[in-house]
Amino acid sequence: MIKQGLDYEVLEGWGKLPRGWVYTQVAGVAVDSKDRVLILCRGEHPIIVLSREGEFIESWGEGIFANAHGAYIDAEDSFYCVDNGDHTVRKFAKDGELVFTLGTKNKPAPPGKPFNKPTDVAKAPNGDLYVSDGYGNSSVHHFTPDGELLRSWGEPGTGSGQFNLPHGVWADEKRIYVADRQNSRVQIFTPEGEYIEEWGNLLRPCDIYFDRRGRVYVAELTHRVSILNKRGEVLARIGGEKSFAPGKFVAPHCLWKDSHGALYVGEVLDGQRIQKFIPI
């Protein structure tokens, strides 16, 4: 890693599951207000909840998802889950009760409409929702907090405002950040979808997370995690070569931090694990 006060070490052995359970591919991760870690998996137990110490708390969501893909948790501990197998985004209350579903189950939408194999969801400070719609579409969709569609933007391509698999999304007060995976960049827009700029020097970015200090964490499918400032400048990197060794990566797909500064990184493809990194 680059030495700029952003060093992490992996906490080996973190994350204890019941006997016989496995994570399979870890598509999404988020941490709630009590530092419980919610892990969205593509397996028999799609939502696994662990304590900060890695102890198993509960699981839920069995039988709901066709192919879990992205996750977000808000300040009220509402949990948003993207399913790119059945073309929906679901909002769950903190007790696991389904609040609403965006999209029509098992009915892919036409180009530019929500959804056709969506990838990720984020909530802006004003409560609006943004969904990246990336495998069958090349769009970002903007919704009210109650799920009313306000606007959509994007089309296939490599130019400004075009996408080749918009795979992750994050929203702050003034900007919407989209991980344009196959174009190996993060594109940045106004909340209304006006193009502002882009960040390069990334390798197939999958997921974006902003911490309270304004640092930007990007999970890159090509074996690493990058830590940037809000100008897109690289501060540090973890990983870089394909490895199953603890502290290295095969295919980072998602990440989140807890209130103590620990970083959780979930992997897909052959990775099929979640790792906890603690600052040193």
CA distance 106 to 104: 6
Q: What is the pLDDT of residue 3?
A: 45
What pLDDT is attached to residue 5? 57
User: Taking the C-alpha atoms of 237, 241, 242 and 243 in order, what is their torsion angle to the nearest 10 degrees?
Assistant: -80
CA distance 269 to 279: 27
The answer as to whether 2 is a domain residue is no
Taking the model in full, what pTM does it have? 0.97
Q: Is residue 1 part of a domain?
A: no
Residue 89 CB contacts under 8 Å (≥ 6 apart), including other chains: 80, 81, 82, 83, 101, 102, 103, 115, 118, 121, 129, 131
Strands 139-143, 129-133: pairing kind: antiparallel
Tell me the CATH number at 49. Answer: 2.120.10.30
pLDDT in tens, the chain (280 residues): 444 558 999 999 999 999 999 999 999 999 999 999 999 999 999 999 999 999 999 999 999 999 999 999 999 999 999 999 999 999 999 999 999 999 999 999 999 999 999 999 999 999 999 999 999 999 999 999 999 999 999 999 999 999 999 999 999 999 999 999 999 999 999 999 999 999 999 999 999 999 999 999 999 999 999 999 999 999 999 999 999 999 999 999 999 999 999 999 999 999 999 999 999 9
Number of domains in the chain: 1
Would 3 be classed as within a structural domain? no
CA distance 127 to 76: 11
Supply the range of the domain harboring residue 262: 8-279
Sheet with 234-239, edge to edge strand ranges: 205-210, 216-220, 224-228, 234-239
Cα 112 to Cα 97: distance, rounded to the nearest angstrom: 30
CA angle (161, 152, 265) in 5-degree steps: 70
Give pLDDT, residue 4: 52
Is residue 263 assigned to a domain? yes
